[in-house]
Amino acid sequence: MLDKIGKQQVKLKTGIYNIAVKVVDNDDLEAIEILKLKINGKIERK
């Protein structure tokens, strides 16, 4: 997962995660969505 400036903050292992995402626009309207993420293997970067 990457933060606002693109720096990796959390390294997730195999499993199921619920991740809350909060969005705020220029008019101070905000919304929160909960994402369900399932990781069933590993990521290989080249």
User: What pLDDT does residue 9 have?
Assistant: 73
For 1-46, what is each residue's pLDDT tens digit? 667 777 777 778 888 999 888 888 889 899 999 999 888 876 667 6
pLDDT at position 7 is 79
DSSP secondary structure letter of residue 23 = E
- Domain boundaries along the sequence of the chain: 13-39
**Which stretch of DSSP H or E encloses residue 24?**
strand 15-24
H helix and E strand count, the chain? 0, 2
